[in-house]
Amino acid sequence: MDFALPWPTSDGEWLAWSSAAATIFIGFIAMFAPGTTLRLLRLDNPPMHNSGLSTVRAQLGGFYIGIGVAAILFAQPLIYLTLGLGWSLALFGRIISMMSDRANTLHNWIALVLNALLAALSLAFTLGFIS
């Protein structure tokens, strides 16, 4: 059995593929620069607790890389739907935090736009808005 990388053929597929590629990129940053990731997320890792870095590498880096690679390698609409729903729920969580936790900051607004963009790229193709 030969394996060929499925290359996007339509504009909608390119959008979903771009969302998966961006997810992989974010995952690589978390995997190989966990300290930078924590600073970007406005989190802190106490000096004597390096398990925090392993959590960033595993939960953020590994998961984001895995779901992004699966979406690109298999190029199936349901995997793109999974990716879009994941980013949509991240967006929902950020909105809840902005309203409930008084976290209405520029950092959260930028992250909100990024979450919305990545969700929209995957869902626009999967739900048939762009073919």
Closest CA to 123 of 71, 73, 74: 71
* Residue ranges making up the domain that contains 44: 11-126
Please state the pTM of the whole predicted model.
0.89
Token pair for 23: 């997810």
Task: Tell me, yes or no, whether 43 lies in a domain.
Answer: yes
Chain-wide mean pLDDT for the chain?
91
* Residue the block writes with tokens 């991240």: 90
Q: Is the pLDDT of residue 50 over 80?
A: no
Total residues belonging to the chain = 131
Q: What percent of the chain has pLDDT over 90?
A: 67
pLDDT tens, 86-130?
999 999 999 999 999 988 999 999 999 999 999 999 999 999 998
Task: Tell me, yes or no, whether 131 lies in a domain.
Answer: no
User: What's the whole-number mean pLDDT along residues 1-17?
Assistant: 87
Could you give the number of structural domains in the chain?
1
Q: What is the pLDDT of residue 44?
A: 76
Instruction: Compute the distance between CA of residue 25 and CA of residue 66 in angstroms, rounded to an integer.
Output: 11
Task: Tell me, yes or no, whether 45 lies in a domain.
Answer: yes
Task: Tell me, yes or no, whether 6 lies in a domain.
Answer: no
User: What's the whole-number mean pLDDT along residues 54-73?
Assistant: 92
**Burial state string for 43-76 with b = 16 or more CB within 10 A and e = fewer than 16:** eebeeeeeeeeeebbeebbeebbebbeebbeebe
Whether residue 80 contacts residue 125, with contact meaning beta carbons closer than 8 Å, is answered with yes
